[in-house]
Amino acid sequence: AVDKDAVKAKVKGGGGKYVATCTKDVTHVVSTQGAVDNGGKIVQEAVKRKLIVVKEDWLDRCIADGRRVTESGSLIRGEAKEEPSAGAKRKERPKESKVTLIVKGKGAVHPDACNHKTGIEADKAHILERGRCVYSATLNKTDLAADKNSYYILQIIVDEQGRGAKRTILYK
């Protein structure tokens, strides 16, 4: 049988989140072959949702390597994900570059909005404001398991080049 307290400590120590039920955020279920054969409630839910069921040693390998590793060798049910080449660590971030932002009013037009496709020039546009409302928002989604960050920038931009047209710009 799996020692739930030990698994919980390993998951939290490795930077993960331990839950006792199969929520939508669960990516892996740690179990034993016996528990899978007996078909307990959590295992049934994991199979139904096509989750990966692994042995406890997979946690140890992830913690030792400092990242999520392939489930091969620890897999009880599900499909193992391929492991990056041996010794590979997390992807290196591209070198950051400096960008000059022109702030007009209470916000800055996002630099990606200023290109030949939109026809907007940063120094000739501003974000729509009505009273205390600034029409600019950034939505962020972080997926730790997949090591991905996604973001969307929404702005209503007023073009000051005589056209006065408002444009809604959505970026990913």
Catalogue all structural domains in the chain, each as residue range(s) with its CATH number: 4-77 (3.40.50.10190), 111-171 (no CATH)
Give the mean model confidence (pLDDT) for residues 113-123.
Answer: 70
The neighbouring-strand residues paired with 154 are 137, 170
What are the pLDDT digits (tens) for 29-53? 888 888 888 887 888 888 888 888 8
d(Cα 60, Cα 66) in Å, to the nearest integer? 10
Q: Who has greater pLDDT, 133 or 94? A: 133
What tokens does 105 get?
């009013």
What are the pLDDT digits (tens) for 60-83? 888 888 888 888 888 888 776 665
- Do 4 and 12 meet the contact criterion of CB atoms below 8 Å apart? no
Instruction: Label residue 86 by pLDDT band (50, 70, 90).
Output: very low
Only one residue has tokens 């409630």, namely 41
Q: What is the pLDDT of residue 126?
A: 83
Q: Who has greater pLDDT, 14 or 58? A: 58
Task: Write the burial class of residue 143 (CB in 10 Å: 0-12 exposed, 13-18 middle, 19+ buried).
Answer: exposed
Among 35-39, 57-61, 91-95, 139-143, name the one with the lowest average pLDDT.
91-95
29 membership: H or E segment, kind and range: strand 28-30
d(Cα 73, Cα 3) in Å, to the nearest integer? 20
Give the mean model confidence (pLDDT) for residues 96-115.
Answer: 76
Position 144 pLDDT exceeds 80:
no
Position 152 pLDDT exceeds 80:
yes
* Parallel/antiparallel/unpaired status of strands 166-171 and 52-54: unpaired
Instruction: Label residue 172 by pLDDT band (50, 70, 90).
Output: very low
What are the pLDDT digits (tens) for 15-26? 788 888 888 888
- Do 172 and 151 meet the contact criterion of CB atoms below 8 Å apart? yes
